[in-house]
Structure 1
Amino acid sequence: MLTLHTAPLLRRERDGEPAPEQAVLVSGDRIEAVGPLAELTSGYAGARVRRWPGTLGPGLLHDGPLPPAPTPRERVHALLRTGVTAVLAEHLADPALRAAAERSDLLVLPTAVAPTLRPDGRADLAVHDVDGTCLVTVVAGRIVHRRA
């Protein structure tokens, strides 16, 4: 199923200039297209549209130890609540923690790579409010966190 994610502003790169009236088209776990909302809406009329408040951009890379929590699952969930979609492998030495990260489909990277929104890339997205609060996290095309 095709899903069109849009927000008032979109950043293709974490520190990139935000652009209005843009969207990301997702199919399964991949990004099909990134571009003007009107163009994607007319070109993919059957796509489900998810409209989010805030700024839509690539998911975040977490470069540090995972936050403390009672269980590995809760440690991973603490990252998802902030918009993190990737973590460096060196911070997942504990097998239970690595398994929890893999079950959540977090991208485990050997080295830091700046996340971007691009066609054929993995559909890892995050929407943040003006105060930096994460409103939505999408990992490999699945909504894994949504602020109530």
Structure 2
Amino acid sequence: MLTLHTAELLVAGPGSAPLAGGAVLVEGDRIVRVGPYEELGAGAPHARVRRWPGVLTPGLLVRGADELLERTYYPDDPYETAELGTDPICGRDALDALKMTEARWGHSARRGTQKLLARGVVAVAGRFTVGSVRTAVVRSGLTVLAPVPYEGTPSLDPLAGRATPEGAFHGVLEAGAAARFAVFAVAGLAELPERGATTCVATVIAGRLLHRRR
């Protein structure tokens, strides 16, 4: 089935000129065409149309994801937050006090991957050594990449500390590429680092809508 995703502004990749009223035509897990909405819509009149506010860009890459998912615990809301609070828990002593098991790590990782998808993340780089965590990441749909260098502390928001968002993009939007992108409710690309990835309204991986802000 053809699906046409369109937003107020489309940025196909690093260095690409923003396209007002741009769109991405998707069939299955691949991009068929990228271009103006009017042009793509006329060529595919029976496509399902999804209209999004803001800027449509390639999905984001998180570096140091093993730190975020294997050495950080995300309390289960609402069952644990009264006792543990809502903030992620990290640090050896704090994690030791939780008496973590592989199963508990897997449950935490599932909650962590949902937080990543809600921030437009489509790929994670890291070396996962806990089987239940790796299973949770793979099942989430996120692409797993080998570790890559990064500076500072890993963050759920790949845009944190960046002057421009392009360095967090994973891939480009072009015909034949994987249908993997995100949409952020911002007025323009320059506004995205300031407001952050929590402005994400939609995350698409392999052509599937895996996050949609309600």
Distance 2:35 2:174 in 1: 10
Q: For residue 207 of structure 2, what is the amino acid of its counterpart?
A: G
Report the Cα distance in structure 1 between the residues aligned to 2:180 and 2:172, rounded to whole angstroms: 9
CA distance in 2, matches of 1:85, 1:14: 16
Question: Contact 1:63–1:87 (CA<8 Å) still a contact in 2?
Answer: yes
- Mean Cα deviation higher: 129-138 or 14-23: 14-23
Matched, 1:11 2:11: yes
Indicate if the aligned counterparts of 1:7 and 1:56 stay in contact, CA closer than 8 A.
Answer: yes
In the aligned structure 1, how far is the partner of 2:42 from the partner of 2:143?
32
Work out whether residues 66 and 79 of structure 1, in 8 Å CA contact, stay in contact via their aligned partners in 2.
Answer: no
The Cα shift of 1:111 comes to: 5.8
**Alignment-derived partner of residue 83 in structure 1:** 120
The alignment of Structure 1 onto Structure 2 pairs a total of residues equal to: 147
1:73 maps to which of 102, 110, 126:
110
Partner residue of 1:110? 146
The reply on whether 1:147 has 2:147 as its aligned counterpart is no
Determine if the alignment matches structure 1 residue 129 to structure 2 residue 185: yes
Larger strand fraction of residues = 1
**Pick aligned residue for 2:134 from 86, 89, 98:** 98
Give me the whole-angstrom Cα distance separating, in 2, the residues matched to 1:106 and 1:62. 10
Matched residue type, 2:182:
A
Contact 1:129 1:135 in 2 (8 A): yes
Residues 84 and 114 (structure 1), Cα distance of their counterparts in 2 relative to 1, 3 Å cut = closer
Aligned partners of 2:201, 2:170: CA distance in 1, in Å? 21
> How far apart are 1:89 and its partner, in Å?
3.9
Once residues 82 and 3 of structure 1 are traced to their aligned partners in structure 2, the CA distance between those partners, rounded to angstroms, is 22
Q: Which segment is superposed worse, 105-114 or 20-29?
A: 105-114
Structure 1 length as normaliser, TM-score?
0.90
1:120 to 168, 176, 183: 176
- State the Cα RMSD in Å: 1.8
For 2:21, the aligned partner's letter is E
Q: Which runs of no fewer than 5 residues in structure 2 stay unpaired?
A: 76-107, 149-168, 187-194
Q: State percent identity of aligned pairs.
A: 48
Question: Take 1:79 and 1:96, find their aligned partners in 2: how far apart are those partners?
Answer: 17
In structure 1, distance between residues paired with 2:26 and 2:63? 26
